[in-house]
A and B are shown apart, each in its own frame.
Chain A
C-alpha cells in the first residue's frame, strides 16, 4: 500500500532559526495536505497542494509540492515559540473523500 515517509522525526532549533520538514510518497499523489498538532491537541489543517510544482505561502510558512507529485516540503522562516508542535504531511492517491495516509510527523522543538 501507499507509504508516506517524513523526515526528520525530531528537529531542535533555536528561536529565530529556520526549519524544514520533508515528505516522500511511494506512489504519485493526487494531492497532499499539511497539518499541525500542538502537544496534547488534535491535528489542525494548514494547507492543501494539488498541482505539480505548486508553491504556497502562509506568512512565514512555505509549502512545496514536487514536480512528480511524490514529495513535498514545509519550510518555516525565523521560528517562534508558537511554532512548537508536530507537523504532519498527509497524502491521497485516490478520490476526493478517501482517507489520508499520514507521515509519522516531525516534532519541532524550539529553544528560546
Chain B
C-alpha cells in the first residue's frame, strides 16, 4: 500500500536538544510538506519542497530545518531555537501540477517538552 509514514508517533524533547522527525513516502510524489498543528488552530506551513535538493520556507520556519536528499524522504529537525515546540507535526506529499494536487498526510508526530 502506498502512503506516508511518520515516525515516531510520540516524541519528547529536553531543553536545548535538537530532535528530528522522520517522514517517508512511497507515492512517488515530487512535493513534500511539513505542517504544525496546535489545539484550536489550523495547520501552519513550516517548510516545503517541490523537488529533491530544494526546499522553501513556509510561514513559521524559524527554529526548524529540513533536508531533501532523496525523493522519498523529508526529515524535519526541531532545533533548540524553537522555544515552543510542543505541537502535532504533520507531513504531507503531493504530485505537482498547474492548479495544485491533493495533499496526502501521514499520521503525525506529537512532540512534547520534558
Contact = CB atoms under 8 A, between A and B. Distances in A.
B106 A96 contact: no
Given A43-B90, A97-B50, A102 B43 contact: yes
* Chain B: number of interface residues, binned into ranges: 20 to 34
Contact of B105 (A30, A43, A48, A99): A43
A42 B103 contact: no
Q: Tell me the interface secondary structure of chain A in the complex.
A: loop
Interface in A38-93: 41-45, 48, 50, 88, 90, 92
Given A1-B59, A88-B42, A98 B108 contact: no
Given A98-B48, A99-B33, A33 B97 contact: no
Given A43-B90, A44-B105, A31 B45 contact: no
B2 interface: no
Contacts of A9: 40
Interface of B: 30-31, 33, 35, 40-45, 48, 50, 56, 58-59, 90, 94, 96-108
